[in-house]
């Protein structure tokens, strides 16, 4: 295990460049599997989840090479296996994305079922129902989804549950339908920016997809895709996390390489909390005050609603608000796992079902706490930046799954933190 030692911070000041999106890049890597040739993807973040996905692609015979930092060449001319290894799916649910392309391209996919997850139950039943609707025969035995479509997939109408507009199911089914025969219509599709980017990538490769950016996708199957060069979108969750860091410390930080238009609801809520947020097309500046934040209620929702991935960051901010905030988590059933740790730091939080009622306190205090997932880890860092004394966060390695150079970026704007090995207290290098 690794731990992060974080002290109370002065207001953060300076510039933070934002990396390519984790949840935007993973679908692109899966989509590149459909191209019988070379694809170049730019703005690929150096994070653990991307590594895991690349291992997955290599495991089925695809060549992946970084030709320069952040620029990846994928050659999927040959796919030699349709079996995804369990140890990779287990590490990251996003690796289930290989199912759609394997099925579409090879007519067969054996992918272990991802199982449980600390933020909620996260089944893949919508993905599987969609594969069946496209004509695949699917068996789920011994923990593995075995899908077969020896005569190829056939377009159909797929109705996703409108309560969720599942990101993962939309991506997987769009990928499966791209090379299917005939027309597929996906109703209640997700239109998160990451899904839209994947659709745009496929379209530029020659796929015929209408309705990208809406909740109804019409996909007319094509026989093959051509490789292209494509850039991953900026990570709105990374940007959001650091915007909360700027606000929590009363800082003044400029963010470069961002898409403010992907972050409307987050910007709105930070302004409500008292921060000034200025934007242009690719930059965003947060100028916060030193006063305690105002309380702000949020409800997480599919895009363009407030993202569930920033709900923990919001909880950390309003833990010191002047008044009570109500958070409603509607996407995942166990995403308040960070709140017990915040309570150890002095936060006043009550959970009832999907709601977290957070009564702001004047001061948080440093404490030993434990992170259980990537966004919980980030939220604990945010809380620690405004807590008196030092906070020791166990599970710092979760940050590496989704944030490129997390500490280096925060330290560059003045946040005091070091990472060390929990076993021997040896300090670990923070790459600039
Ligand atoms: N759901 C089902 N059955 C399915 C699929 C989803 O019941 O077959 C439910 C889920 O249990 C959940 C809801 O639908 O309650 C929404 O899940 P969705 O499929 O939209 O989420 P996901 O694709 O598993 C992606 C991101 C998550 C992000 C969510 C919501 C990736 C790799 N993951 O997950 O990111 O929170 O969408 O926006 O893109 C993170 O980055 O920390 C993270 C968890």
DSSP conformation letters of 89-132: HHH-GGGGGGHHHHHHHHSEEEEE----BTTB----HHHHHHHH
List, in order, residues 6 or more apart from 261 with CB less than 8 Å away.
none
Catalytic positions: 117
Cβ–ligand 1 distance for 131 under 6 Å, the answer: no
Q: Does 249 lie in the same domain as 201?
A: no
Which stretches of the chain score pLDDT less than 50? Answer: 432
**Boundary of a domain, candidates 186, 212, 231:** 231
Rounded distance between C-alpha atoms, residue 283 and residue 133, angstroms = 43
**Same structural domain for residues 132 and 191?**
yes
- State the Cα–Cα distance between residues 20 and 258, nearest whole angstrom: 9
* CATH code where residue 426 lies: 3.65.10.10
Q: How much distance in Å is there from the Cα of 232 to the middle of ligand 1?
A: 19
- HSE-CB of 305 using CA atoms within 13 angstroms: 17
Dist. CA 93–CA 88, nearest whole Å = 9
Same domain, 405 and 331: yes
Give the pairing type, strands 63-68 and 71-75: antiparallel
Residue pair 285/243 in contact (Cβ under 8 Å)? The answer is: no
Alpha-carbon distance of 123 to 127, in angstroms, equals: 9
Claim to verify: residue 159 and residue 253 sit in the same structural domain: no
Q: Do the Cβ atoms of 410 and 417 come closer than 8 Å? A: yes
In whole angstroms, give the CA distance from residue 324 to residue 133.
47
**How far from each other are the two terminal CA atoms of the chain, in whole angstroms?**
22
CA distances from 320 to 71, 198, 343 (A): 41, 38, 12
pLDDT of residue 116: 65
Which pLDDT value is given to residue 323?
Answer: 98
Question: CA-to-CA distance for 266 and 310, rounded, in angstroms?
Answer: 8
Kindly give the distance from the C-alpha atom of residue 400 to the centroid of ligand 1, in angstroms, as a whole number: 19
- Please tell me if the CB atom of residue 113 comes closer than 6 angstroms to any atom of ligand 1: no
303 pocket-lining for ligand 1 (C-beta < 6 Å): no
Residues 308 and 280 in one domain: yes
Same domain, 294 and 324: yes
Q: Is 49 in the pocket of ligand 1 (CB under 6 A)?
A: no
d(CA 279, CA 113): 42
Cβ of 332 closer than 6 Å to ligand 1, yes or no, is yes
- How far apart are the CA of 167 and the centre of ligand 1, in A? 6
Phi, psi of 73 (to 5 degrees): -105, 130
Give the Cα-Cα-Cα angle 309, 26, 137 (nearest 5 degrees).
105
Q: How many H-runs (helices) and E-runs (strands) does the chain carry?
A: 14, 26
Domain C-terminal end among 182, 206, 231: 231
Q: How far apart are CA 314 and CA 325, in angstroms?
A: 10
Q: Is the dihedral of CA 76, 80, 82, 87 positive or negative?
A: negative
pTM of the predicted protein model: 0.97
Q: Give the pLDDT score at 423.
A: 84
Closest ligand 1 atom number to CA of residue 166 = 20
- My answer on whether 56 and 161 are in the same domain is yes
Q: Rounded to the nearest whole angstrom, what is the distance from the C-alpha of residue 362 to the centroid of ligand 1? A: 35
Q: Are residues 295 and 161 in the same domain?
A: no
Domain count of the fold of the chain = 2
DSSP assignment of 187-218, as one string? Answer: ET----HHHHHHHHHHHHTT-EEE-TTSSEEE
- What is the C-alpha to C-alpha distance for residues 72 and 40, in angstroms, rounded to an integer? 6
DSSP designation for 277: E
Collapsing DSSP to helix, strand or coil, 357 comes out as strand
What pLDDT score was predicted for residue 431?
A: 52
Q: Show which of 206, 231, 256 is a domain's final residue.
A: 231
Q: Please give the pLDDT value at position 432.
A: 46
Domain of 41 in residue numbering reads as 22-231
């Amino acid at each position: 295990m690794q731990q992060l030692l974080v002290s109370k911070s002065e207001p953060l000041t300076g510039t933070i460049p934002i990396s390519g999106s984790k949840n935007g890049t993973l679908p692109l890597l899966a989509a590149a599997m459909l191209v019988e040739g070379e694809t170049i993807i730019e703005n690929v973040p150096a994070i653990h989840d991307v590594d895991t996905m690349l291992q997955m692609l290599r495991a089925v015979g695809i060549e992946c090479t970084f030709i320069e930092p952040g620029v990846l060449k994928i050659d999927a001319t040959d796919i030699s296996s349709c079996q995804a290894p369990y140890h990779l799916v287990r590490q990251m649910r996003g690796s289930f994305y290989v199912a759609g392309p394997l099925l579409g391209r090879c007519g067969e996919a054996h992918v272990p079922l991802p199982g449980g997850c600390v933020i909620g139950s996260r089944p893949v039943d919508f993905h599987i129902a969609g594969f069946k609707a496209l004509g695949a025969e699917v068996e789920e035995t011994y923990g593995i989804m075995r899908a077969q479509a020896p005569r190829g997939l056939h377009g159909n109408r797929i109705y996703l549950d409108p309560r969720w507009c599942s990101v993962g199911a939309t991506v997987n089914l769009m990928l499966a339908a791209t090379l299917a025969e005939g027309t597929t219509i996906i109703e209640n599709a997700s239109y998160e920016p990451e899904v839209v980017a994947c659709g745009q990538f496929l379209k530029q490769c020659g796929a015929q997809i209408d309705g990208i950016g809406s909740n109804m996708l019409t996909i007319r199957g094509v026989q093959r895709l051509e490789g292209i060069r494509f850039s991953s979108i900026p990570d709105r969750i990374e940007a959001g996390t650091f915007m909360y860091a700027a606000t929590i410390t009363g800082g003044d930080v400029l963010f470069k390489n961002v898409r403010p238009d992907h972050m409307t609801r987050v910007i709105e809520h930070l302004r409500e909390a008292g921060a000034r947020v200025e934007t242009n097309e690719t930059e965003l500046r947060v100028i916060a005050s030193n006063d305690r934040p105002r309380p702000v209620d949020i409800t997480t929702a599919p895009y363009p609603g407030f993202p569930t991935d920033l709900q923990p960051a919001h909880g950390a901010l309003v833990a010191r608000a002047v008044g009570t905030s109500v958070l409603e988590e509607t996407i995942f059933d166990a995403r308040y796992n960070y709140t017990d740790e915040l309570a150890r730091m002095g936060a006043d939080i009550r959970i009832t079902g999907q709601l977290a009622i957070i009564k702001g306190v004047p001061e948080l205090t440093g404490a030993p706490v434990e992170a259980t997932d990537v966004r919980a880890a980030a939220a604990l860092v945010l809380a620690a930046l405004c807590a008196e004394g030092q906070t020791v966060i166990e599970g710092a390695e979760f940050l590496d799954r989704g944030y490129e150079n997390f500490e280096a970026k925060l330290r560059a704007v003045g946040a005091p933190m070091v990472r060390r090995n929990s076993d021997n207290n040896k300090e670990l290098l923070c790459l600039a």
